[in-house]
Amino acid sequence: MTHWFHRNPLKATAPVSFNFYGVATTPAATKVCNDLRLSRTRLLELFTDLSCNPEVMKNATDLYFSLLQGFILSLDGSSQECKLRYIQNFKWTDTLQGQVPSAQQDAVFELVSMGFNVALWYTKYASRLAGKEDITEDEAKDVHRSLKIAAGIFKHLKESHIPKLITPVEKGRDLEARLIDSYIIQCQAEAQEVTIARAIELKHNPGLIAALAYETANFYQKADQTLSSLDPTYAGKWRKYLNLKTCFYMAYAYCYHGQTLLANDKCGEAIRSLQESEKFFAKAEALCKEYGETKGPGTTAKPSGHLFFRKLGSLIKNTLEKCQRENGFIYFQKVPAEAPQLELKANYGLVEPVPFEFPALNAQWTPETLAAFDLTKRPKDDTAKPKPDEEVKPLKEPDIKPQKDSGCQIS
pLDDT in tens, 335-367: 777 877 787 676 666 789 999 999 999 999 999
Q: What average pLDDT does this structure show over 200-210?
A: 91
Q: What average pLDDT does this structure show over 302-314?
A: 67
What DSSP string describes 316-385? HHHHHHHHHHHIIIII-PPPPSSPPP-----SS----PPP--PPPPPTT--HHHHHTB-GGGS-SS-TTS
Q: What average pLDDT does this structure show over 320-347?
A: 74
**pLDDT higher than 90, residue 228:** yes
Specify if 290 maps to a domain. Answer: no
Confidence of residue 406 (pLDDT cuts 50, 70, 90): very low
φ/ψ of residue 252, rounded to 5? -60, -45
Average pLDDT, the chain: 87
Q: What percent of the chain has pLDDT over 90?
A: 62
Question: What is the per-residue pLDDT for 123?
Answer: 97
CA angle 4, 122, 358 (to 5 degrees): 155
**pLDDT higher than 50, residue 230:** yes
Contact 147, 192 (CB under 8 A): no
Specify if 368 maps to a domain. Answer: yes
Domain count within the chain: 1
Roughly how many angstroms between the first and final C-alpha of the chain, as a whole number? 19
d(C-alpha 50, C-alpha 32), whole Å: 29
Q: For the ranges 94-108, 182-196, 244-258, which has the lowest average pLDDT?
A: 94-108
The answer to whether the pTM exceeds 0.75 is yes
**pLDDT higher than 60, residue 400:** no
**pLDDT higher than 80, residue 323:** no
Expressed as residue numbers, the domain containing 60 is 1-203+348-410
Contact 263, 206 (CB under 8 A): yes
d(C-alpha 117, C-alpha 12), whole Å: 9
**pLDDT higher than 50, residue 409:** no
Tens digit of pLDDT for each residue in 93-127? Answer: 999 987 788 999 999 999 999 999 999 999 999 99
Question: What is the per-residue pLDDT for 183?
Answer: 97
Question: What is the per-residue pLDDT for 292?
Answer: 85
Q: What average pLDDT does this structure show over 186-191?
A: 96
**pLDDT higher than 90, residue 293:** no
Comparing 313 with 404, which gets the higher pLDDT?
A: 313
Which among 4-13, 112-121, 252-261, 286-295 has the top mean pLDDT? Answer: 112-121
Comparing 118 with 294, which gets the higher pLDDT?
A: 118
Specify if 342 maps to a domain. Answer: no
Specify if 229 maps to a domain. Answer: no
Specify if 308 maps to a domain. Answer: no
CATH code for the domain in which residue 169 is found: 1.25.40.280
Tens digit of pLDDT for each residue in 141-159? Answer: 999 999 999 999 999 999 9
Tens digit of pLDDT for each residue in 52-82? Answer: 999 999 999 999 999 999 999 988 777 788 9
Question: What is the per-residue pLDDT for 316?
Answer: 83
Q: What average pLDDT does this structure show over 10-22?
A: 94
**pLDDT higher than 90, residue 307:** no
Question: What is the per-residue pLDDT for 267?
Answer: 84
Specify if 164 maps to a domain. Answer: yes
φ/ψ of residue 301, rounded to 5? -160, 160
Specify if 364 maps to a domain. Answer: yes
Dihedral-angle region of residue 298 (phi above 0 means left; psi in -120 to 50 means alpha; beta otherwise): left
Q: What percent of the chain has pLDDT over 70?
A: 88
Question: What is the per-residue pLDDT for 133?
Answer: 77
Question: What is the per-residue pLDDT for 215?
Answer: 94
Specify if 22 maps to a domain. Answer: yes
